[in-house]
Each structure stands twice: as C-alpha cells, then as structure tokens.
Amino acid sequence: MPAQKPAMAVPMYQRSLRPPSTAQKEIRQIYILVMGLTGAGKSTFISVVTEDSTIPIGDPGDLDSVTDKVQDYIVNIPQRGSNIVYEVHLIDSPGFDDGTVADCKVLTRIADFVNTHYKLKNTLAGVLYLHDITKAKMGGVGERNLRMLENMVGNDKWDNCTLVTTKWGCTTDPIGEESREKKLINKDNYFGEMLRNGDRTASMMRFDPKSKGRALEIIKPHLKRNFEPLISREMVDPQGPMLSLGETSAGKIVADGLETLEKMGMELKEVSESRQLLGRKFDIMLFEKYKAKRDKLMREQKLHRVGRWATRTTIVGGAIAATIVTLGPGASAFALEPAYETYASRQRSEDKDNMVKLQKDYEQENQANLSPTGGYDAQWLKDKRVKSMGDLSDNYSMRSSSSLDLSPAGTLSETVTEVSSFAIKDAGIP
C-alpha cells in the first residue's frame, strides 16, 4: 500500500479572506407603551427588563415624576429555536397626575409619539398599564386615567393591553394587597370592564422587581402582536376623521376635566395653554419639510460610508497584492490605515453631529409652532424607511431597520462585492 503524501500547507495568498460565516439574524422591531400614574413603577419596570441601572427612578412616596417626556429604551429578546431577535422598544411615558406636568401635556406627548410611529408604520405591539397595589383606593384621578387608556386604545383593541400591578410585598399587609387586587378585577370602573370584554379582553399580571425573567413574561405575549390605537385612527389616518387631540375619545376626557381644574384654582394661563394643546392637529407640512432635510443628510452620509468602505477595501487589497508580488508584507499599504482611520473617525463624528443638530432644530420648531408632528420624539429623522407621509396604502411596507449591531460596519473584512452593491443601491441604479 503506497504511503500517503503529507498534507501541504495552503499558501497565505490562497487562503480565503472571508470571515467565518454566522447565521443571519432577522431583527423584528416592536414598540410597547408603558403607562400609569406617577409613582406606579414604570421606570423601575423598564430598568429591571433592560438591566439599565442608569434609568432614573423616583424615591418611594415621591409624587413628582422623574420622567417628563417620552423616552425609548431597548431590550433584545431572541426567539428560541430560530434566528429571530425581537428588538423591543419600551416607551417610558410621563406619569399622569404629575406635580410638574399637567395630564393634558402628558396625553399630548404620548399622542405625539404614537401618531408619529403610526405614520412610520411602527405600529404598537401593546400597552402596559402599571398600577401601584399599595394604594388603598383607585381615586378619581386613577379612574379618569383608566378611561383615558381605554379610549386611547379603543375597546376593540383592549386585548393588546396588559394591566400590571406593582409593589407587591411593600406593605405589612399581604392580605390587604390580595383584597385590593380582587377589587381591581371585580369592579367595572376599575379593571373589570377591560378584563371582561368578550374576545377582546385585556390581561392582568403582577410585576416582581427581583426577577427579570418574570418581568419578561409580561412582555412576551406582545412580541407577535401589532395594532392601530384608536387615537391614531382618529387623528392621523387619512381614511379617518383627522380630529384634533381634544376631539378624540381620549382627549375629551381631559377636556372635560379642565372645568374641574378651574374650580380647584388652576391659573387661567394654564387652562388656556391646555386648551391650546387640545386644539392641535397633526402637522404634515412640518413633517415633510424635515423629511426632505433628513433625506438629503442621509444621502450624504451613505456616500461617506461607501467611500470609507471602498477606501478600506483598497488599502487591504493593495497590501495583499504587494504581499503576493514581493512575497513579503505590504508594509507601505498597511501604513496608510492609521492615518485613514483618523480621517474616517472625524467624518463619522461630523455626520452624527449633523443629525443631532437636525433633530434639535426639528424639536425647537415643532415646539414653537405647537405642532404635534413627532412632538418630543425626533427619532424618526434617523429612520430611512420614511418615503411619504401620506403613503398609507395596504401594499406599502417598510423594512425594519435595527439599532442592534449584528454586523459592525467599517471592519477590514468587508468584501468588494458588498461595497459595490451598496454603492449601486445608494446611487439609485436598479
């Protein structure tokens, strides 16, 4: 039997430059609104789920909210047995009954966020309404805000709501806590009506701040859902009535409360400002103005990225070619890399600063005009999926971009083919 030839080493220049293959991840963005009275534990819930200890949390008993605007926090939840990763955006909203922000302003900010994302085809996957189980009574404020929730979502969409009780074990009376939970369930003017709504019933769960796993169980039922809240159908759907905020089902509850606030001694100026907010309608012109600016800026930034990737490919390709020809390291080509990376870093920083400035300009003009398009949420300016404000046909679909960086750009392993296809796409070549 002839002896086998020893295996020969593969020359360096014949080895593949491609990185090891990895499973392609499918990112699915979903948005879940977190609501509740001030002090109900919204920020605590989000902090536990995201494991973000920097999220500001109010002190127990503090009636002033630490969240005075809508804020977006992200947690990534992989689906077992598949390549799907859910990028869950938890929307922390200001608390109602806040000592510093009137309920009218809170509803305005929530409506701004929800309506803007409705226009971006980022429909909600659910609403979590948090309630402090240590509260002996629901109170008029709590009931009013439950009615606001019911009318903002719409009773035909209540099955997308989860009513979450918080602060279990924070009293010395566990029997009292259980009794309060039963009252929430049984009374129609509390949670009862939403929990007994035919096949469109809301769900109810407890939140344990000591367990992230249990907190995630509150979120998981919403991962495969999406719905259009009533307030968006009333305000921004072209096929709907296009109402002002005060004319919507939820807005009417706030409007009805203004008279009560006047009787309680609320300053005339504050009442006037609230009525002005309730009279706002969705400003399409402002949206289109900044969308045009955003599109131009994104085109420039894409060209910058293409240029950077192409230059890196040239540097690496030149170094490899020099190595093959001289059978030695292409030192001269690799020496270009540090200098170029300094330039590329500066360019990336400038691109980021330009986008931040555009967002600030939008927020300032939006606030000055009392225009609710996007309100305090200017994140849509980063969303390249927006093509037309009025393009809401059923066959219109936008691919979901992701903030989850599964394939970092700008590495030396990117191929010429990837750069070329990106450049052709950016130039509008079919």
Q: pTM to 2 decimals?
A: 0.64
Q: Write out 11-43 in H/E/C secondary structure.
A: CHHHCCCCCCCCCCCEEEEEEEEEEEECCCCHH
Residue 407 has pLDDT above 60, yes or no: no
Query: What pLDDT, on a 0 to 100 scale, did the predictor assign at position 321?
Result: 52
Query: What pLDDT, on a 0 to 100 scale, did the predictor assign at position 173?
Result: 92
Where is pLDDT greater, at 367 or 144?
144
Where is pLDDT greater, at 134 or 96?
134
**Distances, alpha carbon 397 to alpha carbons 122, 170, 232, 234, 386, in Å:** 11, 47, 18, 22, 10
Where is pLDDT greater, at 372 or 124?
124
Query: What pLDDT, on a 0 to 100 scale, did the predictor assign at position 408?
Result: 32
Average pLDDT over residues 35-44: 91
CA distance 328 to 322: 8
Query: What pLDDT, on a 0 to 100 scale, did the predictor assign at position 315?
Result: 66
Average pLDDT over residues 345-371: 76
Q: How far is CA 176 from the centre of its chain?
A: 37
CA distance 98 to 33: 18
CA distance 331 to 338: 12
pLDDT interval class at 396 (50, 70, 90): very low
Query: What pLDDT, on a 0 to 100 scale, did the predictor assign at position 238?
Result: 82
Task: Express each pLDDT in 197-209 by its tens digit.
Answer: 999 999 999 999 9
Question: What SS3 class is residue 293?
Answer: helix
Measured in residues, the chain has a length of 430
What is the identity of the amino acid at 94?
A: P
% the chain with pLDDT above 90: 32
Residue 70 has pLDDT above 70, yes or no: yes
CA distance 416 to 313: 6
Which residue carries 């709907």 as its tokens? 240
Task: Express each pLDDT in 295-350 by its tens digit.
Answer: 888 888 888 877 777 776 776 665 555 554 454 554 454 455 677 678 888 888 88
The rounded mean pLDDT for the chain is 74
Query: What pLDDT, on a 0 to 100 scale, did the predictor assign at position 258?
Result: 74
Which residue carries 């990534």 as its tokens? 76
